[in-house]
């Protein structure tokens, strides 16, 4: 087992070693780490719903009525009335025929891609897609063509040469999780129709955030039902846990019968499902939280740029602050934590070598005072490390 010790030593030497930071208490705009209160700029809890009183109340009520566990997989005895209610609510919210729950966005991508594609098929995947998409593509056994990030011309060149394959699948993130930019979906939809390809969008970071009603990238671009498969999560803006897929009713029936990551696992517990239902209710009632989020996003981006930071063309609530060197990004993250700001440094292999960055994420529940205090710390540490 010497290879384990050798690999850990290498990771430490190259500035790539990762450690867990333990949060004391619940998720909020501020959290406690090591007994100190710090401003949290590393959470996907974009609307602040993870600690919303109505959502906690729904989870507690579900435990009292249904207990803690669901007891089995969905196709055995683990399909509870709450699961059906949530799937119907997601389908309605996303304006799709049907929906299916998975235990995470990761398992949703694995299950869908490996069910739809196999040997003799081809998948076209953006080079900056999430790891779960890449793993789903590899698991499928289909030929994988990774096109340069958001390069529509390169994607079309691949598609032109794809006539010999049985099925063609284009898969892309809606919002890219490490760069914070948005896929050019209008152009991708056009190519999918022109070349008879199935189109799948991972809307994990867009659900609840993008679009007039928070329905995601398809609403944001006004695409109606042009996207064949939309995956989303319940663990980010919705503030709960789990994943889902929406689309035609026949697609959902197919996945119930073919998606191994759906079939062979115990279903989501009732408390989690109930909290997700309550969260979508809140999102559907109004746009106040989204308005607060985008106000905070706009302010923080502008001020980071004024200080002199490169935010790498972010178009969303995910704001990458470019550092470059792996050791320096770790040092800056540690310095910021000492200053009372928790933001994680992102390093290879999550991002390419030489492109390490701080991944700043904004929440609707951050106050202006929170953001101003964080900006003061960013300016201080950035100047000390000669990044600005």
Active site residues: 177, 205, 236
HSE-CB at 113 with a 13 A cutoff on CA atoms is 32
Q: How many CB atoms lie within 10 A of CB 324?
A: 13
The number of angstroms, rounded, from the C-alpha of 79 to the middle of its chain's C-alpha atoms is 26
The closest alpha carbon to 152, from 124, 129, 175, 174, belongs to 124
- Residue written as token pair 């609707």: 364
The closest alpha carbon to 124, from 99, 143, 104, 100, belongs to 143
Distances (CA, A) of 131 to 135, 275, 292: 6, 27, 30
Are 226 and 189 contacting, i.e. CB atoms less than 8 angstroms apart?
yes
Question: What is the distance between the alpha carbons of residues 315 and 290, in angstroms, rounded to a whole number?
Answer: 15
Give the tokens for residue 142.
């289909």
The closest alpha carbon to 208, from 283, 277, 272, belongs to 283
The closest alpha carbon to 245, from 190, 188, 207, 290, belongs to 207
Give the tokens for residue 375.
């900006």
Distances (CA, A) of 271 to 66, 83, 238, 274: 8, 11, 14, 5
Give the tokens for residue 235.
């663990």
The closest alpha carbon to 275, from 121, 119, 61, belongs to 61
The number of angstroms, rounded, from the C-alpha of 1 to the middle of its chain's C-alpha atoms is 35
Q: Can you tell me whether residue 155 is helix, strand or coil? A: helix
């Amino acid at each position: 087992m010497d290879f384990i010790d050798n690999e850990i030593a290498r990771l430490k030497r190259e500035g790539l070693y990762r450690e867990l930071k333990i949060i004391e208490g619940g998720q909020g705009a501020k959290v406690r780490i090591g007994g100190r209160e710090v401003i949290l700029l590393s959470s996907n809890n974009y609307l602040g719903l993870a600690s919303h009183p109505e959502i906690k109340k729904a989870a507690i009520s579900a435990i009292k009525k249904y207990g803690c566990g669901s007891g089995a997989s969905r196709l055995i005895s683990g399909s509870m009335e709450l699961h059906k209610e949530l799937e119907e609510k997601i389908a309605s919210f996303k304006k799709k025929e049907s929906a299916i729950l998975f235990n995470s966005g990761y398992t949703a991508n694995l299950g869908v891609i490996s069910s739809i594609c196999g040997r003799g098929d081809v998948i076209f995947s953006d080079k900056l897609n999430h790891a779960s998409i890449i793993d789903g593509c590899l698991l499928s056994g289909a030929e994988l063509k990774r096109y340069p990030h958001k390069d529509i011309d390169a994607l079309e060149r691949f598609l032109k040469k794809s006539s010999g394959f049985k099925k063609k699948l284009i898969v892309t993130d809606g919002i890219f999780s490490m760069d914070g930019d948005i896929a050019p979906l209008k152009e991708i939809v056009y190519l999918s129709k022109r070349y008879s390809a199935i189109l799948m969008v991972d809307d994990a970071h867009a659900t609840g955030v993008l679009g007039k009603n928070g329905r995601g990238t398809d609403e944001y671009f006004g695409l109606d039902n042009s996207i064949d498969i939309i995956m989303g999560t319940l663990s980010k803006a919705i503030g709960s846990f789990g994943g889902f897929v929406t689309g035609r009713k026949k697609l959902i029936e197919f996945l119930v019968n073919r998606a191994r990551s759906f079939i062979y696992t115990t279903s989501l517990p009732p408390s989690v499902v109930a909290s997700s239902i309550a969260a979508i209710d809140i999102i559907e009632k109004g746009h106040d939280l989204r308005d607060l989020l985008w106000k905070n996003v706009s302010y923080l981006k502008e001020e980071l740029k004024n200080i002199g930071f490169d935010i790498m063309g972010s178009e969303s609530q995910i704001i990458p602050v470019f550092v470059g060197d792996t050791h320096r990004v770790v040092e800056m993250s540690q310095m910021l934590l000492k200053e009372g700001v928790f933001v994680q440094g992102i390093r290879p292999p999550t991002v390419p070598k030489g492109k390490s960055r701080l991944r700043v994420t904004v929440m609707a529940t951050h106050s202006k005072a929170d953001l101003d205090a964080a900006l003061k710390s960013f300016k201080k540490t950035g100047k000390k490390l000669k990044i600005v």
